[in-house]
Every structure is written in C-alpha cells, then in structure tokens.
A and B are shown apart, each in its own frame.
Chain A
C-alpha cells in the first residue's frame, strides 16, 4: 500500500515539475510515469538496503532506461523524459541541511550532508551516463555497419 501511495504522489510530483520545465503536452504523462516508477524503486531499495546512494543509482538507471524507450518510440529528445523524472531524486534535502548546518556553525555536519549530496548527484549522473553512452554506442555501430 505504501508503494501505491508513493507511486501516485511521485507521479503528480513529476508531472508538476514537467510542467514547470515546459515539457510538451504529449509527453507529460510519460515523463511522470518514468519518474514515479523510479521513485518507487528508490524507496523499495532504500527500505531493504538502507543506502540512499545505491538506491538513487538504480532508480536513475531505471528512469534513464524508461526515458530512452519512450524517446525511441516517440522520437523525442531524451531530456524531455529524464529531467522531470530525476528531480525527486535530486538531493534538495541534502543541500538544505548542508545550508542549515553551516548556519548553525556545525561544520562537521555540513561536510557530512554536503558530501552525501555530492555522492547522490554523482550517482544520478553516472547512471544516466551509462545508459546514454551505451545507446550512442549502439547508434554508432548501427550506422557504421
């Protein structure tokens, strides 16, 4: 049940961000779906393994795969599906708590939160890069042979 409600919340959340980023009307629901599925994977893995970074990596990987599939089907650029989808995973919490810790002059905690945010950002980017470079490699091979 928790997964269903989280899926719905993440769906609405992602569609909202998609509209803020001016995603074309026809792609709104699809980008929302990718983001919602990614978030559900994120909480599932985070629940079982207690590792935000690993969960973020796998969730972003799935968002990128789904985005790639939609992009090929609809012949739209991949960004349209990926950017709204990854927003819920972006370490906004980490950034806020980093700022808060600096404000409270607790620099050790600030470094903790800050480095975790950077790790999360890197894991999102690494997941996206793996999927994207495999895909461009596939395209290159297809056009060469």
Chain B
C-alpha cells in the first residue's frame, strides 16, 4: 500500500516540477514546490536537485522502515514561457498541501493544467505588435516608425509562435525571427524617409530577447545554484546569438548586394 503511494507521490511531484520548469519557473521555486508536495504526505527525507535541463528527486522515510530510497530522474528538453501554467501549479501545490487532495485526483488536476492552452496565436501576434510598437515609442520613435514596428512585430511574433508550436529547432526559430524583422524593417524603410530601421528591428526583437534567461542566470548564480546559473547563461547567450545571426545576416546581405547603409 505504502509502496504504491510512494511511487505515485513521486510521479506527481515530478510532474508538477516538470510543468513548472518547462514553462519558465525559477530553479528554487521548482525545488521548493517538489519538497513541499513530498513533505505534505509525511516523508521526512526529501532531496531535490533541479537544473534547467533535468530534475533529480529522492525520498525516504526515517528510521525503522525497511523500504528502499526511491529516486527519479526527469530529463527536460525544451523550455518556453507560459507563466499561466506556473501560477496554476503554484496554486495546485498550495491546495494539495492544505486540503488533502488525493494523489490520483492530484495527477488528474496536473494533467488538466498541462493541457491549458496559451492565448491564441492572433492575440499573441497583436499584443506582441503593440508591445513592440510602444517599446519603440519609449525610445523616441515617430509615428511612422511606430506603425512599422507594429506591423513588423505582428509578423515576427506570429512566425515565432507558429514555429514554436510545430517544434522547429530553437536556434533556427530565433534566427528566422531576427531575419523577418530585418527584412521587414528594410522594406518599410523605403516607404518614408523618416523611418529608421534600427528602432523597428529593436522593437521587434524585444519579443525574443532572452531577458528572462539572462536575469535568471545571474539570480541563480547569486543564489548558489551555480550549475543552473551557467546553464541559463548558456541559453541566454545562444538565444542572443541566434537573433543577432538572423538580423546580422540579412543586414550584411543588404549592405553587400544592395549597397544599403545602416544609419
């Protein structure tokens, strides 16, 4: 009886941690949630080691029980940002600890959370466009640049979300986002002399810029999670490089073949 419980509890805790880690939660929050979930059912020894690419858990009971330590490893391959799921799992863990939901019900609830849909693509695209356009305004864009950033970023965000939803390789996804931004900016800059390509491109790439990974990298390192910190720093560096590659490739082609100028 207890054996089944232990296994199921571990699966549940692992599932909760996996959803959180895949959708952009911080390392310490994942560790904290898993420890809480396991301790709420009375396990005195719980140890968790979370990195952005995997979760390791082992649990045991104190003292006389003859059962062996249970350990699980879960490999995490892809990460994106869906803060709604993080918030939902957070609520779930609070309820699970307080209200004694049974483990089977818990797993069912977690499955529902895992299948929550993000906002539809067109909403993402429109609001990504608005965000970039107003971001360009913050840095002193004029009305033409505002409109161009809006159009460009709608295309970039739509492209990005679509490629993410069909599991396209991450490096190429970000590079193509940067490429689309650069192409659109160059085309739109011909429409009116006061349109500068830099504000449009910066507005559009803000949707992809690895601010979260970059900040989490430093935060994890300061908090002592050095492996997570390095992993996230590598992630941020790769994303930044791929965006820069996409934008730079198109701009360089434009300079070489069409004699364009950047400023």
**Which chain B residues lie closer than 8 Å to A17 at the CB level?**
128, 131, 206-207
- Given the contacts A92-B209, A121-B218, A10 and B138 also touching, CB distance less than 8 Å: yes
Determine if B215 and A86 form an interchain contact, defined as CB atoms under 8 angstroms apart: yes
Across the interface, B83 reaches (CB within 8 A) one of A79, A98, A132, namely: A79
- Given the contacts A6-B138, A15-B127, A95-B244, A79 and B25 also touching, CB distance less than 8 Å: yes
**Which chain A residues lie closer than 8 Å to B215 at the CB level?**
86, 90, 121, 124-125, 128
Q: How far is the CA of A79 from the CA of B240 in the complex (A)?
A: 21
Determine if A20 and B127 form an interchain contact, defined as CB atoms under 8 angstroms apart: yes
Chain A positions near chain B (C-beta within 8 angstroms): 6, 9-10, 12-17, 19-24, 27, 39, 75-77, 79-80, 83, 86-88, 90, 92-93, 95-96, 98-100, 102-104, 121-122, 124-126, 128-129, 132-133
Determine if A20 and B207 form an interchain contact, defined as CB atoms under 8 angstroms apart: yes
Q: Is B175 an interface residue (CB 8 A)?
A: no
**Total contacting residues, chain B, CB less than 8 A:** 56
Determine if B240 and A103 form an interchain contact, defined as CB atoms under 8 angstroms apart: no
Q: Is B123 an interface residue (CB 8 A)?
A: yes
**Which chain A residues lie closer than 8 Å to B240 at the CB level?**
95
Q: Is B139 an interface residue (CB 8 A)?
A: yes
A–B Cβ pairs within 8 angstroms, 30 of them: A10-B138, A12-B130, A13-B135, A16-B132, A16-B134, A17-B206, A20-B127, A20-B128, A21-B82, A22-B119, A24-B87, A75-B94, A76-B87, A77-B29, A77-B83, A77-B90, A83-B83, A83-B212, A86-B215, A88-B135, A92-B206, A93-B202, A96-B247, A99-B244, A103-B248, A124-B218, A125-B215, A125-B219, A128-B215, A128-B219
Determine if B83 and A90 form an interchain contact, defined as CB atoms under 8 angstroms apart: no
Q: How far is the CA of A124 from the CA of B198 in the complex (A)?
A: 24
Q: How far is the CA of A96 from the CA of B47 in the complex (A)?
A: 42
**Which chain A residues lie closer than 8 Å to B91 at the CB level?**
75-76
Q: How far is the CA of A83 from the CA of B214 in the complex (A)?
A: 11
- Given the contacts A20-B131, A121-B214, A90 and B209 also touching, CB distance less than 8 Å: yes
- Given the contacts A83-B81, A86-B211, A87-B211, A77 and B131 also touching, CB distance less than 8 Å: no
**Which chain B residues lie closer than 8 Å to A19 at the CB level?**
119, 123-124, 127-128, 131
